[in-house]
């Protein structure tokens, strides 16, 4: 039991001021209170460890009460009984706290990204970087790894799922799990709160066809596109989707280095991010697309991507930009970015073009497995004619004020 009382402590303060010297009060168990003439006091505990006398401090009397000081002193005595030096333990505890504070999710994610970058294909690294910067780092960057809970991570995933990006949430769960595994291996944390995220994830919605207009409804869209006063880059991405029927992820991340405007060709290398199974693909560009791209070069030609991000031109346009533009034009729930592929495919098939040409234009199947005389060019020349005729048809609808054009098969399409 300690010997100090409130009265004894008050008397020590008065004595130290009166005698202008330090007064030492013992509480038992090696705990003492050092009272100074200036009216301050601090807790101290002396002990012997390894044959040497050592001292540990517990802070000022103003901040640490007598009861709390006794509790700390008892913990120190318990450590000594276990053969542990209290001073070394405090240093270890401080180092652990410092490690926890310094080892944030942002630091771990960057180290994990840099470690895996040489192992990833460019397509993978670009997708990981995009998801990190958009969804994971903003809420988690400064959070210590050791303090992040499964519930906190699940809240982040729920925000992603809320906007309908269930595949993004699925990938984010996988990457969070991998980041924490890396952190554990590097001694940055001890637990992986992402391990159980899959057990509490929302069920993936049943796959449905992407919303798209019919050919008869297309004039309405073209009229709205003419009136659209938003970014010319977003407008250009919509037109390019209509002119080429490429996948939305490929279109919005189009790089200037992939374009040969003189040859009217867009070359997508094997392994490109956004291409299903990483297939290579050649996309012929109609003259309308060439004209538009030459105009857009004045806006984004000094950057890597054609359709640059609104907030960061070093990044491609966000995957929500086209959806937002379509909603602004009044087509929310009626037309999606991916739905342009359905619209174009249906229209081309109904106009009598060869199914093989349409399928290759949509990049369905591995081009390396195409046999016959069109193997190398992947039906490039007939597709070039087909897509130019399609672009001309769109232009004629546009120039006619968006009037519905008769849908008819044109002669000479099947060969």
pLDDT digits (tens, 9 = 90+) for 329-338: 999 999 999 8
Residue 372 in this model has a pLDDT that exceeds 80? no
Residue 106 in this model has a pLDDT that exceeds 80? yes
Tell me the mean pLDDT in the region 167-175: 92
- 292 phi and psi angles, rounded to 5 deg: -65, -45
Summarised one tens digit per residue, pLDDT across range 303-357 is 999 999 999 999 999 988 999 999 999 999 999 998 999 999 999 998 889 988 9
d(CA 235, CA 398): 15
pLDDT, residue 252, reads: 93
Summarised one tens digit per residue, pLDDT across range 195-219 is 999 888 888 776 556 888 988 999 9
Angle, vertex CA 99, rays to CA 98 and CA 102, nearest 5: 85
pLDDT, residue 2, reads: 57
pLDDT, residue 89, reads: 85
Catalytic residues: 247, 276, 338, 341, 364, 374
The better pLDDT of the pair 136, 90 is held by 136
Residue 47 in this model has a pLDDT that exceeds 60? yes
**pTM, whole model, 2 decimals?**
0.51
DSSP states along 75-95: HHHHHHHTT--HHHHHHHHHH
Residue 370 in this model has a pLDDT that exceeds 60? no
Tell me the mean pLDDT in the region 43-69: 90
pLDDT, residue 365, reads: 65
Tell me the mean pLDDT in the region 66-73: 91
Angle, vertex CA 299, rays to CA 297 and CA 301, nearest 5: 40
User: Residue 137 in contact with residue 109, Cβ under 8 Å?
Assistant: yes
Name the CATH architecture for the domain at 105-200: Orthogonal Bundle (1.10)
Q: How many residues does the chain have?
A: 415
Q: Do 6-100 and 105-200 fold alike per CATH?
A: no
Structure tokens at 413: 């399409």
Tell me the mean pLDDT in the region 147-160: 94
pLDDT, residue 279, reads: 74
Summarised one tens digit per residue, pLDDT across range 110-122 is 999 999 999 998 8
User: Residue 123 in contact with residue 274, Cβ under 8 Å?
Assistant: yes
Tell me if residue 231 falls in helix, strand or coil: coil
Structure tokens at 221: 């869209």
Q: Could you tell me the residue ranges of all domains in the chain? A: 6-100, 105-200, 215-399
Structure tokens at 161: 């799922």
Superfamily of domain 6-100: Integrase, DNA-binding domain (3.30.160.390)
Tell me the mean pLDDT in the region 129-135: 90
d(CA 135, CA 109): 13
| CB-count burial class (<10 Å; 0-12, 13-18, 19+) for 154 | buried
pLDDT, residue 281, reads: 87
d(CA 320, CA 337): 9
Contacts of 219 (CB under 8 A, 6+ apart): 397, 402, 403, 404, 405
Average pLDDT of the residues of the chain: 87
Alpha carbon dihedral 285, 290, 292, 298, in 10-degree steps, equals 130
pLDDT, residue 254, reads: 95
pLDDT, residue 368, reads: 57
Fold topology of 215-399: hpI Integrase; Chain A (1.10.443)
pLDDT, residue 414, reads: 41
- 255 phi and psi angles, rounded to 5 deg: -105, 145
d(CA 305, CA 288): 19
């Amino acid at each position: 039991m300690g010997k100090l009382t409130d009265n004894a402590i008050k008397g020590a303060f008065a004595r130290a001021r009166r005698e202008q010297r330090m007064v030492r009060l013992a509480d038992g168990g090696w705990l003492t209170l050092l009272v100074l003439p200036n009216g301050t006091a601090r807790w101290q505990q002396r002990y012997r460890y390894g044959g040497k006398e050592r001292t540990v401090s517990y802070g000022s009397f103003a901040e640490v009460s007598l009861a709390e000081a006794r509790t700390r002193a008892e913990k120190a005595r318990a450590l000594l009984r276990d053969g542990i030096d209290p001073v070394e333990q405090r240093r270890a505890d401080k180092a652990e706290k410092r490690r926890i504070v310094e080892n944030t999710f942002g630091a771990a994610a960057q180290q994990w990204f840099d470690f895996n970058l040489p192992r990833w294909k460019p397509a993978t690294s670009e997708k990981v970087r995009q998801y990190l910067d958009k969804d994971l780092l903003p809420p988690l960057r400064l959070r210590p790894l050791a303090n992040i809970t499964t519930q906190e991570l699940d809240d982040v995933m729920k925000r992603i799922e809320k906007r309908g990006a269930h595949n993004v949430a699925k990938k984010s769960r996988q990457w969070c799990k991998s980041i924490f595994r890396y952190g554990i291996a590097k001694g940055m944390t001890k637990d992986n709160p992402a391990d159980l995220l899959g057990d509490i994830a929302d069920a993936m919605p049943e796959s449905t066809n992407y919303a798209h207009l019919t050919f008869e409804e297309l004039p309405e869209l073209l009229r709205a596109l003419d009136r659209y006063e938003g970014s010319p880059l977003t407008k250009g991405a919509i037109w390019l989707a209509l002119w080429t029927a490429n996948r939305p992820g490929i279109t919005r991340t189009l790089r200037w280095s992939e374009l040969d405007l003189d040859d009217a060709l867009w070359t997508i290398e094997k392994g490109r991010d956004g291409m299903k199974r990483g297939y290579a693909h050649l996309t012929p560009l109609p003259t309308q697309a060439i004209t538009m791209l030459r105009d857009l070069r004045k806006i984004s030609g000094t950057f890597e991507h054609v359709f640059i991000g609104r907030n960061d031109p070093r990044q491609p346009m966000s995957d929500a930009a086209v959806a937002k533009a379509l909603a602004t034009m009044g087509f929310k729930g009626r037309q999606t970015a991916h739905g342009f592929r359905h619209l174009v495919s249906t229209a081309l098939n109904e106009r009598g073009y060869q199914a093989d040409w349409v399928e290759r234009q949509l990049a369905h199947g591995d081009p390396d497995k195409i046999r016959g005389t069109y193997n190398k060019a992947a039906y490039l020349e007939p597709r070039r004619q087909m897509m130019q005729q399609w672009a001309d048809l769109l232009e004629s609808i546009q120039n006619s004020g968006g009037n519905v054009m008769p849908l008819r098969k044109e002669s000479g399409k099947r060969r």
